[in-house]
Amino acid sequence: MDPFFTATLSAAAYRTLVALVYQHSRIRLGADKQPMLANRLRKRLRVLGLTSFDEYCALLESRAGADEIGQLVDLISTNHTKFFREPEHFAFLTSRILPELTPRLIARQSPLRVWSAAAASGEEPFTLAIVLAEYFREHPSLDWLVEASDISQRMLAHAQQGIYRLDHGQWASPDLLKRYFQKGFGPRAGTCRVKPELQHRVRFHRVNLFQAEYPIPRDQHVIFCRNVMIYFDPPSRATLVQKLTKQLAHGGYLIIGHSESLLGVRHDLESVRQGIYRRN
Ligand SMILES: C[S@@+](CC[C@H](N)C(=O)[O-])C[C@H]1O[C@@H](n2cnc3c(N)ncnc32)[C@H](O)[C@@H]1O
């Protein structure tokens, strides 16, 4: 019998894993996630040549565990995303934020800085890059840059490749697809790759939103931090909003997901509309 597939996750080992995940990422795993975690981790145990979850917990708690905790968080986090997800936010960026901010930035000859703070596999930062590139085709241009970050090394590796399934291209108009993507041929048929002109506008970083200092420049004009706060408890959300507020320029915007809210979170931002906040 294969010992890797019979390893059982005891309540005590599960508590240890829940605590370590929380400590590292502030992701709160409920009791209902125990079977999911056990299933996903059995494969990891096999890769590491371990036969029990207790051995795995011991590894995580040892000096060598610092890297492994990243792997663990990778296994449990939800990375679902797509191009132009929650499209109202991109429409608001084009219709309200960019016309408001760009004349001042042009006058100061200062670049526009936008940060996708939970970028997953890259669809969000590349959508931002497309929206900005489109806007500046029609309007007086200025220099701009998108910072993209995530805690997951696996997601970042995917994002940095910039290769996506075409899925009949329903997520972008034929014009946008042609302007910003190269179609794959041969073994890459059915996929498309972000064109280098656009890719060069997006800089990737591995960032845990709760780390002490971010490797992202201050004075961001827009921060998209969408569909990640939902995994954090209220004190962690409050900590995060404070950190992101410090990272925003005055007059800059924080945008969170449709299913998220800052209700009950103390903050100094002006609520502009559902999910959109401004630092005054
Ligand atoms: C559901 S995806 C959201 C993707 C995108 N923002 C969107 O709305 O489509 C959540 C992402 O948050 C990342 N994440 C979870 N905890 C994090 C943390 N503490 N710091 C940074 N990223 C984190 C996960 O790795 C995952 O890629």
Could you read off the pLDDT of 106-125 as tens digits, one per residue?
A: 999 999 999 999 999 999 99
Contact 17, 69 (CB under 8 A): no
Q: What is the pLDDT of residue 4?
A: 53
Atom of ligand 1 nearest to the CA of 24: 19
| pLDDT confidence tier of residue 223, bands split at 50, 70 and 90 | very high
| pLDDT confidence tier of residue 158, bands split at 50, 70 and 90 | very high
Atom of ligand 1 nearest to the CA of 120: 27
Residues touching ligand 1 (Cβ under 6 Å) are 25-27, 77-81, 85, 118, 120, 124, 150-152, 155, 207-210, 226-228, 257
| pLDDT confidence tier of residue 274, bands split at 50, 70 and 90 | very high
Q: 0.85 exceeded by the pTM? A: yes
Which pLDDT tens digit goes with each residue over 7-22? 899 999 999 999 999 9
Whether 133 shows a pLDDT value over 70: the answer reads yes
Whether 269 shows a pLDDT value over 90: the answer reads yes
Which pLDDT tens digit goes with each residue over 161-205? 999 998 866 788 899 999 999 999 999 999 999 999 999 999 999
Mean pLDDT of the chain: 94
Distance of alpha carbon 157 from its chain centroid, rounded?
A: 13
Which pLDDT tens digit goes with each residue over 207-221? 999 999 999 999 999
Element (H, E) at 149: strand 144-150
Q: What is the pLDDT of residue 106?
A: 95
Q: What is the pLDDT of residue 5?
A: 64
Which pLDDT tens digit goes with each residue over 48-94? 999 999 999 999 999 888 889 989 998 888 899 999 999 999 999 99
From 124, 150, 225, give the residue whose CB has the most ligand 1 atoms within 8 Å, as the site to mutate: 150
Whether 160 shows a pLDDT value over 80: the answer reads yes
From 24, 71, 76, 77, give the residue whose CB has the most ligand 1 atoms within 8 Å, as the site to mutate: 77
3-state secondary structure of 10: coil
Atom of ligand 1 nearest to the CA of 74: 25
| pLDDT confidence tier of residue 95, bands split at 50, 70 and 90 | very high
Parallel, antiparallel or unpaired: strands 181-183 and 202-206: unpaired
- What's the whole-number mean pLDDT along residues 26-37? 92
Atom of ligand 1 nearest to the CA of 210: 19
3-state secondary structure of 250: strand
- Name which residue sits closest to atom 27 of ligand 1, judged by CA: 120
Which pLDDT tens digit goes with each residue over 230-242? 999 999 999 999 9
Element (H, E) at 131: helix 123-138
Q: Which domains, from first to last, does the chain contain?
A: 3-76 (1.10.155.10), 87-278 (3.40.50.150)
| Active site (catalytic) residues | 40, 150
Q: How many CB atoms lie within 10 A of CB 189?
A: 9
How far apart (Å, rounded) are the C-alpha atoms in residues 224 and 215? 16
Q: How far is the CA of 106 from the centre of ligand 1 (A)?
A: 32
From 75, 78, 151, 247, give the residue whose CB has the most ligand 1 atoms within 8 Å, as the site to mutate: 151
Whether 3 shows a pLDDT value over 60: the answer reads no
Q: How many CA atoms lie within 13 A of 13 on its CB side?
A: 18
